Amino acid sequence: MITQDSIVAQIKKVYDPEIPVNIYDLGLIYDLKILGSEVYILMTLTTATCPAAAFIPEEVKSVVGEAMGVSAVHVDIVYEPRWSKEKMSDEARKVLGFA
C-alpha cells in the first residue's frame, strides 16, 4: 500500500543543486495525491528561471516511481502561488540560517 509518508520520504531524496536542503523541506511541494497506484504531485521551483527546472521535476518523477506499488507519477509545475522562504520547514530555515 502506498502511503503519504512513503512518498514524502522518496521526495526528500531530491535536493536543489544550489541549496543543501531537500525540495520537500524547501516547501516546493504544494500538493500530493495518491489515487490507487498513481501519484499526483503539484510543485513549484524557487524561481521561474531556476536552472534546475529541466531536471528537478524529472528527478521527482523518477524517485517517486521507485516507491513500492507506484505505477505512474504525474508531476505538474506551477508558479502561483509563488515560492517564498516562508514555505520552508523549520529545519530548512535552520540549515540555511533563517531561523
Q: Is residue 15 part of a domain?
A: yes
pLDDT tens-digit profile, the chain (99 residues): 899 999 999 999 999 888 899 999 999 999 999 999 999 999 999 888 888 888 999 999 999 999 999 999 999 999 999 999 999 999 999 999 987
> Is 14 in a helix, a strand, or coil?
coil
Judge whether 26 lies within some domain. Answer: yes
Global pTM? 0.93
Instruction: Give 15's DSSP letter.
Output: B
Does 36 reside within a domain?
yes
Is residue 99 in some structural domain? no
The Cα–Cα gap between 95 and 99 comes to 8
* Domain with 26 in it: 4-85
Question: In 10 A of CB 32, how many CB atoms?
Answer: 16
Looking at the structure of the chain, the number of domains it has is 1
Cβ proximity of 18 and 52 under 8 Å: yes
91 lies in some domain: no
96 occurs within a structural domain: no
> What's 47's domain CATH number?
3.30.300.130
Partner residues linked to 39 by β-bridges: 34, 73
